[in-house]
Amino acid sequence: MMVLLAIGFILLHVVLVMLIPAHAIVVSYAFLIAAPLFASAFAIRRCMIEGFALSQGWILAALSLIFWTLGMVFSARQDIFLSNSNQVPGDSMLLYILFGVPISYATAVVGVYSRSRLQRGIDAVLVASLGYLYFALTFSWVTLRGSPDEFSTRMVALMFDVENAFLAITTLIRFFAADMLRQRHFFGTLAGLTLLYAITAAYYNHHVALDVSPNIGSAYDGIVDVPFLAFALMTLREPSRIPKAINPPPGLVRFVRIGSPLLLSLAVLTISLLLLHRRFNLGVAGILVAVFGYGLRSILSQVRQIEMEDELRSDRTALAELALRDSLTGVGNRRAFEEAIEKEWRVALRTQQSISLLLVDIDFFKQYNDRYGHLAGDKCIRDIAAALHAALQRPADLVARYGGEEFAVILPGTSSSGAREVATRVCKLVRQLNIPHDNSPHGRATVSVGTSTVTPSEGTLPHELIAATDRALYDAKNNGRNRVEQGIHTH
């Protein structure tokens, strides 16, 4: 239905111009102003549907169309009210050129993530420079009164060709490299507009305006409606799944996403180079803006890349630490213990220093859980883990939750007497917690500790130390609990 309305709009435009030749210029301008206005309204409608994520792109598209509409309004003012017969009125030409600025900005920034405020500021400076340089380039060939000669008119037409080709190419690149449905829909719609506009503008500017019908008001004017109405129709389509056959390769997606912000610098550089032979100083200034803008963006991108690598490294470290941390007590877990005992065993074997191990078990813990509940049991485990940690006096010492209510303490470079001293301190600190335990003969929570000390030799393994310490713990529990028992200790 909407397609038929669009076709009807174009046919009505052509028919009315042919039927009312005396007022053809007024009729044609009415249609030429209405078509981009409709397109901008449809862009705003799509912006409201898409939400904030892609609203920037649709707003920029609408702004481009409004610039073009204003250009047509100024052109109508020249032809209808001022009777200016010049083919290239300067003020409207400026607005037609500004039509490309928001589109260039959209291709550079829409869908490009993690941009800092400073990067957005650089983009704003670049787009402002681009607009001003377009302005300067336009008025290097025309004035507000129009074009002085046919050569200048053809140069302005050629300049429009370059601009339109640039817009079509950049939007097509963004379309083919888009890997998200809504971005693909946006850039596909924008590419449809810019491609159709580049073709129709080239045909109209070089064939119609310069050769066939210099003034608005011919049947040829109907072709100018086509890109705008096609854009409006494309905004009505809902994003569809990307066929696998045209699914962009990840490498292309990353390349375009990283390189897209540089399109602004490229556009500024291109216009500056075109300006050099007309306004040298301004052209050089534009080149400097493009180069410094590109350089600052590259530096900021590198800084952001380093920050992301640092964040990733920090996250990996945090995850590694989390993987070795007991979630209930905050001390090391069984995996941390196993890695640490292997490491310290190798060090002790190489240096021929002793290594001591403590296994600590909470006395009558099952009865404590039955009497006070699991929440109280969890708190008891946490408090005793904190007491164990407080009993250690060296950074190299490690306490880990060995399993359930049992803990392990690794004491590198510690003699049997030193291990017994630490074990005794552990028992004392736990008793000082005064955690009530009515089902214990001691009336409060206590621990039993088994210790062993060994100087590793070739052929011995850590599990031998663990087994000896476990037997010592068994002895401590059998001998009345709330005590320390020592197993093997070799030097």
pLDDT at 150: 64
Could you tell me if 230 and 222 are in contact, meaning their C-beta atoms sit under 8 angstroms apart? no
Residue 105 one-letter amino acid: Y
Could you tell me if 176 and 127 are in contact, meaning their C-beta atoms sit under 8 angstroms apart? no
Structure tokens at 307: 């920050």
pLDDT at 176: 85
Between CA 162 and CA 172 the distance in angstroms is 15
Mean pLDDT across the stretch 240-244? 55
Mean pLDDT across the stretch 14-34? 91
pLDDT at 302: 80
Percentages helix, strand, coil for the chain, rounded to the nearest 5?
A: 70, 10, 20
User: What is the residue extent of each domain of the chain?
Assistant: 2-313, 334-489
Whether the predicted model's global pTM rises above the 0.85 cut: no
pLDDT at 97: 80
Identity of the highest mean pLDDT range in 259-263, 294-298, 381-385: 381-385
Residue 62 one-letter amino acid: A
Residue 87 reports pLDDT greater than 60: no
In three-state secondary structure terms, 457 is coil
Looking up tokens 């608005």 gives 216
Could you tell me if 437 and 443 are in contact, meaning their C-beta atoms sit under 8 angstroms apart? yes
Could you tell me if 82 and 54 are in contact, meaning their C-beta atoms sit under 8 angstroms apart? no
pLDDT at 33: 95
Question: How deeply is 433 buried, as exposed, middle or buried, from its count of CB atoms within 10 A (0-12, 13-18, 19+)?
Answer: middle
pLDDT: which is higher, 198 or 294: 198
Question: How deeply is 240 buried, as exposed, middle or buried, from its count of CB atoms within 10 A (0-12, 13-18, 19+)?
Answer: exposed
pLDDT at 121: 80
Please list, in sequence order, all residues whose beta carbon lies within 8 angstroms of the beta carbon of residue 406, skipping any fewer than 6 positions away: 359, 360, 361, 362
Structurally, at CATH architecture level, domain 334-489 sits in 2-Layer Sandwich (3.30)
Burial per residue of 260-270, b for 16 or more beta-carbon CB atoms within 10 angstroms, e otherwise: bbbbbbbbbbb
pLDDT: which is higher, 89 or 451: 451
pLDDT band (50, 70, 90) for residue 484:
very high
In three-state secondary structure terms, 354 is coil
Residue 77 reports pLDDT greater than 90: no
State which H helix or E strand residue 390 sits in.
helix 374-391
pLDDT band (50, 70, 90) for residue 128:
confident
pLDDT at 386: 93
Mean pLDDT across the stretch 82-99? 69
Kindly compute the dihedral angle of the four CA atoms of residues 368, 336, 396, 355, in this order, to the nearest 10 degrees: 80
Mean pLDDT, all residues of the chain = 85
Between CA 290 and CA 352 the distance in angstroms is 66
pLDDT at 47: 87
Could you tell me if 213 and 87 are in contact, meaning their C-beta atoms sit under 8 angstroms apart? no
Sign of torsion over alpha carbons 202, 208, 211, 215: negative
Least confident range from 179-193, 303-317, 412-426: namely 303-317
pLDDT at 206: 83
pLDDT band (50, 70, 90) for residue 149:
low
pLDDT at 157: 76
Q: DSSP state, 360? A: E
Between CA 119 and CA 113 the distance in angstroms is 11
Mean pLDDT across the stretch 22-29? 90
Could you tell me if 147 and 87 are in contact, meaning their C-beta atoms sit under 8 angstroms apart? yes
Structure tokens at 450: 């088994």
Please list, in sequence order, all residues whose beta carbon lies within 8 angstroms of the beta carbon of residue 336, skipping any fewer than 6 positions away: 324, 325, 398, 400
pLDDT at 338: 92
Q: Regarding beta strands 398-403 and 406-412, do their DSSP bridges make them parallel or antiparallel, or are they unpaired?
A: antiparallel
Which among 426, 414, 428 has a CA at the least distance from the CA of 450? 426
Looking up tokens 């239905």 gives 1
Structure tokens at 209: 């305006």
Least confident range from 265-269, 288-292, 301-305, 415-419: namely 301-305
In three-state secondary structure terms, 297 is helix
pLDDT band (50, 70, 90) for residue 313:
confident
Q: List, edge to edge, every strand of the sheet that includes 447-454.
A: 398-403, 406-412, 355-362, 447-454, 484-489
Could you tell me if 363 and 448 are in contact, meaning their C-beta atoms sit under 8 angstroms apart? yes
Between CA 8 and CA 168 the distance in angstroms is 27
Residue 351 reports pLDDT greater than 60: yes
pLDDT digits (tens, 9 = 90+) for 388-442: 999 998 988 999 999 889 999 999 999 999 999 999 999 999 999 999 999 999 8
Fold annotation for 2-313: Rhopdopsin 7-helix transmembrane proteins (1.20.1070)
pLDDT: which is higher, 135 or 343: 343
pLDDT at 192: 95
pLDDT at 211: 67
Mean pLDDT across the stretch 161-171? 88
pLDDT over 90, % of the chain: 44
